[in-house]
Amino acid sequence: MADLEEVLPALAAEMAERSDRGEVATYIPQLGKIDPKRFGIAVALTDGRVVTAGDADEAFSIQSISKIFTLTLALGKVGDALWRRVGREPSGNPFNSIVQLERELGIPRNPFINAGAIVVTDVLLADHQPREAIGEILRFIQFLTDDDTIIIDRDVAASERATGFRNFALANYMRSFGNLTHEPEMALGVYFHHCAIAMSARQLALAGRFLSHGGLNPATGHSVVSAERARRILALMLTCGHYDGSGDFAFRVGIPGKSGVGGGILGIVPGVASMAVWSPGLNENGNSKLGSIALEKLAKIMNWSIFAP
């Protein structure tokens, strides 16, 4: 196996040279202020080693990557009953699309598109005030990383709320079908805050360890979810984690991944590693442009693929 201690700095240096960095998301005004030159990468191996390069300790907005953690919590709460309200198929549409909801009676295609993730927050609101649900999500992420310094960037949450017309449309539309039990305002309050959680690549790689290790936190040996649930979450990441770019990510990188419009991607090599990359410029599908390229190169060098023998 190639030496990660050499591979990652070389990859970060190569990425620093590139000028084709994509465009930072500006529809959330606060995200538009981020320097597109940033690049960080972190790999947490199941043997306990963590190797990083570039801006791996700088916190960024994890955005839709948070949907992995809210899905995990919602499955813990209601189990397979969740699938009565959310599907498990790729949408083949942008993350904030509304078109399928009318024909499919307010049931979002999967938990990673915005509509699906808003239903997931509705599940997390059961018996909770929004503040408690937000606290539960944040504490879960702090527990997974063993790091209680992780916080929510309230400016990002407020910025998204101020311009979140589409998400309000999605929530109201689903409510009209009876697939949102709380007021859109409440579900979106939770949603905007969990999307605004700020983490570094290192912290994110640590948070994903349970998915690379059959549902166990490799550092403590404690079970976070069953091995079967971990496999199923990974299957959804592979098929839906990059929206209408999911097929291309599977083709190029060959591992389950989840992107966010803050420019982060969490990628999992089952049994081997949890890795996070951050480069704020996005491609046409709203996925980190250089982040995807860096993971493609890294997977190739390391021969990491779920399709490899």
Ligand X SMILES: NC(=O)CC[C@H](N)C(=O)O
Q: Residue 132 and residue 38: Cα distance in Å, rounded?
A: 33
* Annotation marks residue 224 as catalytic: no
Residue 70 in contact with residue 117, Cβ under 8 Å? yes
CB 107 to ligand X: min, Å = 19
Chain residue at closest Cβ approach to ligand X = 64
93 is annotated as contributing to ligand binding: no
167 is annotated as contributing to ligand binding: yes
CB 96 to ligand X: min, Å = 5
The DSSP string of 18-47 is -S---B---SSTTGGGS-TT--EEEEEETT
Residue 92 in contact with residue 224, Cβ under 8 Å? no
CB 4 to ligand X: min, Å = 27
Q: Residue 267 and residue 241: Cα distance in Å, rounded?
A: 10
CB 186 to ligand X: min, Å = 16
* Annotation marks residue 119 as catalytic: no
Identity of the residue, 168 or 301, whose beta carbon is nearer to ligand X in the bound complex: 168
Q: Going by C-beta distance under 8 Å and a sequence separation of 6 or more, which residues neighbour residue 23?
A: 36, 281, 282
DSSP 8-class letter at 152: E
The dihedral built from the CA positions of residue 68, 72, 77 and 83, taken in this order, carries a sign that is positive
* Annotation marks residue 261 as catalytic: yes
Identity of the residue, 106 or 270, whose beta carbon is nearer to ligand X in the bound complex: 106
Catalytic residue among 7, 123, 191, 246: 191
Identity of the residue, 55 or 160, whose beta carbon is nearer to ligand X in the bound complex: 160
In the chain the first and final C-alpha atoms are separated, in Å, by 15
Amino acid occupying residue 20:
D
243 is annotated as contributing to ligand binding: yes
173 is annotated as contributing to ligand binding: no
Catalytic residue among 61, 64, 97, 274: 64
Q: Residue 205 and residue 232: Cα distance in Å, rounded?
A: 19
Identity of the residue, 72 or 114, whose beta carbon is nearer to ligand X in the bound complex: 114
223 is annotated as contributing to ligand binding: no
Catalytic residue among 24, 43, 61, 67: 67
228 is annotated as contributing to ligand binding: no
Catalytic residue among 7, 51, 119, 243: 243
Identity of the residue, 181 or 285, whose beta carbon is nearer to ligand X in the bound complex: 285
Closest CA to 140 of 240, 187, 81, 71: 71
**Residue 242: φ, ψ to 5°:** -120, 25
* Annotation marks residue 67 as catalytic: yes
* Annotation marks residue 33 as catalytic: no
104 is annotated as contributing to ligand binding: no
Catalytic residue among 51, 156, 224, 261: 261
Burial class (CB in 10 A: 0-12, 13-18, 19+), 248: middle
Identity of the residue, 194 or 213, whose beta carbon is nearer to ligand X in the bound complex: 194
Name the residues that contact ligand X, by CB under 6 A.
63-64, 95-96, 114, 160, 167, 195, 260-261, 286
CB 63 to ligand X: min, Å = 3
Q: How many CB atoms lie within 10 A of CB 9?
A: 15
In three-state secondary structure terms, 9 is helix
CB 43 to ligand X: min, Å = 22
Going by the annotation, the residues of the binding site for substrate are 64, 114, 160, 167, 191, 243, 261
Residues forming the annotated binding site? 64, 114, 160, 167, 191, 243, 261
Positions annotated as catalytic residues are 64, 67, 191, 243, 261
